[in-house]
Structure 1
Amino acid sequence: MAEHTTPHPAGGTPPGTVHPLELLYEQAGQPRFSLPPALATAYGGDLGFTSPCLYANFVTSLDGVVALGPEYPSSGSAISGREPADRFVMGLLRACADAVLIGAGTLRATPRHRWTPDHVCPQAAPAFAELRRSLGRAAQPELVVVSASGDLPTEHPALQSGARVATTLDGARRLDGRLPAACSLLTAVEGSTLRMDDVLAALHTHGHTVVLTEGGPHLIGHLLGESLVDEVFLTTSPVLAGRADTSRPGLVAGIELLPNRPAWTDLISARRRGSYLFLRYRLRAPRANDGPAMAD
C-alpha cells in the first residue's frame, strides 16, 4: 500500500479528489475519536480505537493478492489503482496512530515512500494535523521498521528523515555506523531472533500504545502468531491480479493458521466507494484449542 506510478483506472475519480465513503454497516458501540468534520464527512462517520491497540491495513485484489512480487516495487498502488478513497483511508488510519510498524521487506519494496498521513493524501493534511492535535499525538506518527537481521536500505528517505529500528543485538551490530543519525535503535533481545511481543512492549514504554501496521504479509504472520493483532482494515479492490511464476502473497505469510489454529474475526464496519469495499474486522480472542503461539 504505497506510492506507484500506475495511472488511475479509466472513468475513475481524479487523484486529488476525496469523495465521501458510503457507510453500509457498523457495529454499535465502537470507540470514537470525534473526527474533525472534514474527516468525518469523507469517512462517512466517526472512527476510534481503544488503547492499547494494534491494527493492520492492507489492500487486496479480488483474488487475494496483496503484493505483486519483488520485481514490482510499490505494487500496492497497482492493486488499488491509486483509488483516492483508499489513499484517504490509509492516511486517516496513519493519522490515528502513535506509530506505523512495517517490516524490512515493505521498506525495500517502496523505495520512495514516507509513512505519514499527508504523503498518501496531501489534500487532507490540515484535517489530519487537527486530528492529531486533538488526540495529543506528535505531528507525525513515528515509523518503526522491524528487521531481525539489520539488513536495511539505510539510504531510504524514510530512514534518512528519522525512524525507530527494532532489531536484535546481531542486527544492531550489522547496522553499527550505517544507520542515519535521525534514526534510533530499539534492541529487544540477544541473538538472531526477534519477538514482536517484546517490540510492542518497548513501544508502549515510549508512549506508542495505538499502533498501525502496514505489513508486509510476513510481519503480519509473526504478529498473528503471537496473537497481537486486534483489528484488520481491508480494502477490496475490484481487480484480478492472477498468479503464475512469481510469488504473490496474500494477507498472511510465513504461518499456517487453518486448520489447527484459525484466527476468526468479526466484521465491525463496511464502507463503499464505487466498486471498492472498505472492511474493518476485529480479531476474536484465540480459543484454548486453537494451538500454541508461533515461535520466531
Structure 2
Amino acid sequence: MAGFADTPTGAEDLRTEPLQVLYEEPGLPHWRLPPALTTLYGGDLGFTEPRIYANFVASLDGVVALGPEHPHSGSTISGRKPADRFVMGLLRSCADAVVIGAGTLRASPHHHWTPQHVYPTAAGHFAELRHRRGRPADPELIVVTARGALPASHPAFQAGAVVITTTPVARDLRGSLPASCTLLAAGPGPRLSMGAVLDAVHARGHRVLLTEGGPYLVGQLMADSLLDELFLTIAPVPAGRADSPRPGLVAGQEFLPARRPPTRLVSTRRCGSYLFLRYRFHHAISEGSDPHPHA
C-alpha cells in the first residue's frame, strides 16, 4: 500500500510503504486501528492506561536536535522520511494530549502538534481512530515551562494550548497569552516538578500522553521514573558534533555509571534503512497488559 487515495492531501504529498515487523513482543496491548493504519504500521497499536510515551528521531550517532540555529532539526535528521512522519502522526492520534517543553515550541515556530500536520494523507484515518476512542479531533497540546519564555504569537497558542508552569511564572504570564490558552500553576518553583505537571494533565481527564521532548523534559521524566515507553526512530545518517550543542535523547541528567534504568525492547520495525524501535522502562515492564482490543 503506497498511500491513501481516499483522504485529502495537505501541502505535502507524503506516502510510504508499510513498515516491516522484525520483532514484536507477544501480548502487547492493542486497539483496533482503522484498516489503512494497521496496514501501514504492520499491525495494531495500543496502550494500557494511564501511559506516557515519548517519540524521537535520532541520527546514527545519537543526535536528536541540531542546535538552536537549526529550527525543525528533527525533520532534517529524519530527512522527512514519510514512514517516520506516519509513525509520528499515528502516535499523536493515539494520545489524549501531547506534552512538550517550551524549547521544543520555540524551535518549531510554525508547527501544529496534530496527527494530520505531519502526515496529511492519513488525516481521515487518524480522525476515524480518534472517533472510535471517543476522543476530540486533536490531542490537547500541553506546553511545560519553568521560566515562561514563550512566543505568544505561536500558532499553537492561537489554537488553544495549555501552559503549565510555576505559580510565580503563571502570575507573570497572565494576560500575555491569547485568550484561547489555558494557564495552570503546578507548584511554587523555581523548579517545576514533573510529577505535579502530570497530576495537572491527568486532572484534565487525559490518560494516554505523548511527549515529543525536548531532551531536558524527557530527562526529567526518566529521572523521576515517570516515562513508561519510548518510540525511537534511527535515521541512517550521522549528524556529527563540533561547536554547537547537539543533545542526545537525554539532557540535564546523568544515569551511567551510578544508575542504570533497565528497559526492554518490545518492538522493532523497519522501512528501508530506517529502524523503528519501541522500549518499555523498568517500572512499566512488570505491569500486566491487555491483549484484547480497547476500541
TM-score of the two chains, using structure 1 as the length reference = 0.90
**Match of residue 170, structure 1, among 158, 162, 168:** 168
Amino acid at match of 2:51: C
* Partner of residue 129, structure 1: 127
CA contact (8 A) 2:13 2:121 kept: no
Provide the rounded CA distance (Å) in 2 between the counterparts of 1:107 and 1:263. Answer: 28
User: Equivalences for 1:166-205 in 2 at 5 Å?
Assistant: 166-205=164-203
Q: Which residue of 2 aligns with 1:17?
A: 15
1:235 — aligned with what?
Answer: 233
**In 2, Cα distance between the equivalents of 1:191 and 1:58?**
28
Aligned to 1:66: 64
Contact 1:149-1:174 within 8 A present in 2 as well: no
> In structure 1, how many angstroms separate the alpha carbons of the residues matched to 2:168 and 2:59?
37
Q: Secondary structure at the match of 1:166?
A: strand
Q: CA deviation at 1:195?
A: 0.5
The equivalent residue for 1:119 is 117
Point out where structure 2 has 5 or more consecutive residues left out of the alignment: 1-11, 285-295
Give the aligned partner of residue 5 of structure 2: none
Question: What per-residue deviation string (whole Å, max 9, x for no partner) do you get for residues 266-292 of structure 1?
Answer: 000000000000000000139xxxxxx
Runs of 4+ in 1 over 6 A off after TM superposition: none
**Residues 68 and 247 in structure 1, CA contact (< 8 A), matched pair in contact too:** yes
Q: Normalising by the residue count of structure 2, what TM-score does the alignment of the two structures yield?
A: 0.91
Which consecutive unaligned segments of at least 5 residues does structure 1 have?
Answer: 1-13, 287-296
> Within 2, Cα distance between the matches of 1:148 and 1:187?
10
2:254 matches 1:256:
yes
Show the counterpart of 2:209.
211
Pairwise CA RMSD of aligned residues? 1.1
Mapping of residues 10-89 of structure 1, within 5 Å: 16-89=14-87
Higher relative contact order (CA 8 A, sep 6+): 2
Inter-partner Cα distance in structure 1 for 2:180 and 2:16: 33
**How big is the shift at 1:226?**
1.0
Distance 1:148 1:190 in 2: 10
Correspondent of 2:223 among 222, 225, 228: 225
Task: Report the Cα offset of residue 17 of structure 1.
Answer: 1.0
Contact 1:151 1:171 in 2 (8 A): no
- Report the Cα offset of residue 15 of structure 1: 5.0
CA distance in 1, matches of 2:69, 2:213: 18
Indicate the residue corresponding to 2:9 in structure 1: none
Q: Which moved more, 1:241-250 or 1:169-178?
A: 169-178
Displacement, 1:174? 2.2
Take 1:59 and 1:122, find their aligned partners in 2: how far apart are those partners? Answer: 19
Query: How many residue pairs align between the two structures?
Result: 273
- Secondary structure of the 1:285 match is helix
- Residue deviations 1:25-79, cap 9 Å, x none? 0000000111110000000001000000000000000000000000001100000
Alpha-carbon deviation of 1:204? 1.1
- Partners in 2 of 1:29 and 1:259 — Cα distance? 33
Deviations 1:180-202 (A, max 9, x none): 11100121112322101111111
Sequence identity, in percent? 64
Q: SS of the residue aligned with 2:22?
A: strand
Instruction: State the shift of 1:18 in Å.
Output: 2.4
Whether the 8 Å contact between 1:149 and 1:170 is mirrored in structure 2 is no
Matches within 5 A, 1:133-148: 133-148=131-146
| Aligned match of 2:277 | 279
Show the counterpart of 1:9: none
